[in-house]
Chain A
Amino acid sequence: MDPKARNSIDIDTLCHKAKEIRKHVVRMVARHGQGYVQQGLGAADLFTVLYFSELHLDGNDLERDRCILSTAHNSAVFHATLAVRGLIETSRLDSYCQDGSQLEINVSERMGASVEATCGSLGQGLSVAVGMALSARRRESRARYHVILGDGEMQEGQVWEAAMCAASYSLDNLCLTIDMNNMQAEGHIDSVLNMEPVADKWTAFGWHTISCDGNSIEALMQAYDEARDVKEKPSVIIAGTLVGSGVPFLEGKLSHNMVLPKDVAEQALNFLEA
């Protein structure tokens, strides 16, 4: 296994995995009646590419790649990805958001392995990954450290502390993926607090900046290929995603925590299974 190469999995298989993940997301949120379905559908492709193509999850604590979900509320797609990837039993998805379940609506370390940090309080994940990347470097590990950050999280000052720190330490084993779905609890990001130009900000902070279509499996694979080859700089992939992606009548429908009635869920599943 070369930590500096993709896992061998073809695009068709990845597209199929992404569809499986989307179906789980709809079922999981529908069972609860409401939740983060739109974000989950939007991010399904980037979770798929990360967990199936990019991350090397075998090996000991020092050797394996790690991924921190800083947007811990995007939990349906996270848990679904773990299940499709075979990291947790698929039957456990049925307990999502149920009392006593370890599959909480904000992903926490109660889950055990696969959860590298308990975020949810936004803006904290990147700092933890910086620490992991620093520690890996001093121990001469070739593992890579990934963070999935929501675009709204960039409003948190700590993100920029971590950004400055990662660049200062030239952490080329660190890769940040920003899920740019233009949605936060209050509404459209640019109507709440305009953060543009986002790419210029990261470049100015000393990062290698890659912009791509976050709903294109192929574009995401190419973005991670590029990031893996960068030397002396951390990389950020600014992945534009469409909320509700994959289900035409949900696409672009803006809702942070969306009520998902059973009949709508059924229609969505019918579409995904067609």
Chain B
Amino acid sequence: MSGSLHLGDFTSAANVYGAGGMPRYYGDALVASAASDPRVVALGADLSAPTETDVIRDAMPDRFFMVGIQEANLIGVASGMAKMGDIPFANSFSVFLTRRCYDQIAMQVAYPKANVKLAGFLPGLSTLLGVSHQAIDDIALMRALPNMTIIEPGGPDQIVPAVKAAIEIDGPVYLRLQRADRPLQKDQTLPPFELGKAQTLKDGADVAIVASGLMIGQARQAATKLSKRGISTAVVNLHTIKPLDRNAITQWARRCQLIVTAENHSIIGGLGSAVAEVLAEENAGARLVRVGLKDRFAEGGSLPYLLQKYRMSADAIVEAVVEAS
């Protein structure tokens, strides 16, 4: 009987934590970084397993600090450690890590340019835990803070270069992370990225879908469908949301008639807004359509259900392109 009793996991479609040799890109990357750099430490706020920090907790217990369910204190503690020369990674769910302790981040991390890395999980609609756990405005919040760098890897395997890039930056970084819930298939893997440089995943001449995070997968599917309809569609991975690669966005807007942004976030204040600002300021010409959560709260549910319901799926991207063309 006991063999069938596992730690359940509401935060991943895999349902059972650590089962089946599930890759733990973040947890392993953190341990590797801590092993090679004595300044790297990890801080937890009760959620070690769903933030993959159980890996460093167990492998390097003297480099892991659990503060309990105290997000505001977590940020202050991380800032204090950074001021002593450590590189603390503060881990929680994105929504608690950003919205709940915004003032603490502003005053103790962003203002003093503290070398703190905020690692947030469960981005956007990626959870059945519902509206309390869904970070739909975290990018908007972090984008508004001076001195903050924002990285959202295009897939779980890009977490590895994201952690590396975060450590190389001497200052605050927000990592918006989505754990792998199954071993990646060959067509789901992504090459490493270069910080601040938009990554072209597929070339195209009519439409450019600019996406980040798990919307990369939806964008790739949409591009394949659109190409079959004769609409040449590019897919651009905008993994670094701040600072933004303004050049790349302007060039895509000069080349394509239509830019579609696809984000797992509110369309207000996130990637879509950031791209809109560039297009307006550069007078780049292309029309813009934003796919994302349209100024509303969502609900708990499976990711495929929520993406379909809130018009953020690959099919929704295709429809948005067809309507705008």
Contact = CB atoms under 8 A, between A and B. Distances in A.
Contact of A117 (B67, B70, B78, B108): B108
Contact of A128 (B62, B80, B86): B80
B73 A130 contact: yes
A126 B112 CA distance: 16
Contacts of B67: 161, 165
* In the A-B complex, the 5 residue pairs with the closest CB atoms: A131-B80, A127-B76, A135-B84, A161-B73, A131-B77
Contacts of A161: 67, 70, 72-73
Nearest to B80: A131
A109 interface: yes
Q: Interface on chain A toward B: helix, strand, loop, or mixed SS?
A: helix
A135 B72 contact: no
A118 B112 CA distance: 8
Given A118-B112, A128-B77, A130-B76, A165 B70 contact: yes
Candidate in B65, B80, B103 with the most chain A CB atoms within 10 angstroms: B80
A126 B84 contact: no
A165 B73 contact: yes
B104 A158 contact: yes
Given A109-B112, A131-B79, A161-B70, A121 B103 contact: yes
20 contacts: A116-B83, A118-B112, A124-B72, A124-B103, A124-B108, A126-B76, A127-B73, A127-B80, A128-B77, A131-B84, A132-B84, A133-B80, A134-B65, A134-B81, A135-B85, A135-B86, A136-B84, A139-B84, A158-B73, A165-B68
Contacts of B88: 131
B107 A138 contact: no
A207 to B, nearest CB: 15
Candidate in B62, B67, B88 with the most chain A CB atoms within 10 angstroms: B67
A186 B26 CA distance: 48
Contact of B112 (A117, A138, A162): A117
B81 A132 contact: yes
Interface string B76-102: 111111111110100000000000000
B79 A117 contact: yes
Contacts of B305: none
Contact of A127 (B65, B68, B72): B72
Interface of B: 41, 62, 65, 67-68, 70, 72-73, 75-86, 88, 103-104, 107-108, 111-112
B84 A62 contact: yes
B46 to A, nearest CB: 12
B80 A130 contact: yes
A120 B112 CA distance: 14
Contacts of B41: 135, 138
A136 B77 CA distance: 12
Nearest to B82: A131
Contacts of A164: 68, 70
A129 B81 CA distance: 9
Q: How large is the interface on A (under 10, 10 to 19, 20 to 34, 35 or more residues)?
A: 20 to 34
A109 to B, nearest CB: 5
B158 to A, nearest CB: 29
Interface string A111-154: 00000111111001111111111111011000000000000000
A90 B202 CA distance: 63
Interface string A40-51: 000000000000
A157 interface: yes
Contact of B76 (A61, A131, A138, A169): A131
A124 B105 CA distance: 11
Given A117-B112, A136-B84, A168-B68, 11 more contacts: A117-B80, A119-B107, A124-B104, A127-B72, A127-B75, A130-B80, A131-B84, A134-B65, A135-B86, A161-B72, A164-B70
Interface in A154-199: 157-158, 161-162, 164-165, 168-169
B78 A131 contact: yes
A197 B67 CA distance: 26
Contacts of B107: 118-121, 124
Candidate in A130, A157, A168 with the most chain B CB atoms within 10 angstroms: A130
A124 B65 contact: no
Contacts of A121: 103, 107
Contacts of B83: 116-117, 128, 131-132
Interface string A97-109: 0000000000011
A250 B103 CA distance: 35
A109 B77 contact: no
Given A121-B103, A136-B84, A165-B70, A127 B77 contact: yes
B77 A130 contact: yes
B106 to A, nearest CB: 8
Candidate in A108, A121, A131, A162 with the most chain B CB atoms within 10 angstroms: A131
Contacts of A124: 72, 76, 103-104, 107-108
Contacts of A133: 80
A86 B70 CA distance: 38
Contacts of A61: 84-85
A32 B2 CA distance: 73
Contacts of B68: 164-165, 168
Contacts of B77: 127-128, 130-131, 134, 162, 165
Candidate in A62, A133, A135 with the most chain B CB atoms within 10 angstroms: A135
Contacts of A130: 73, 76-77, 80
A132 B85 contact: no
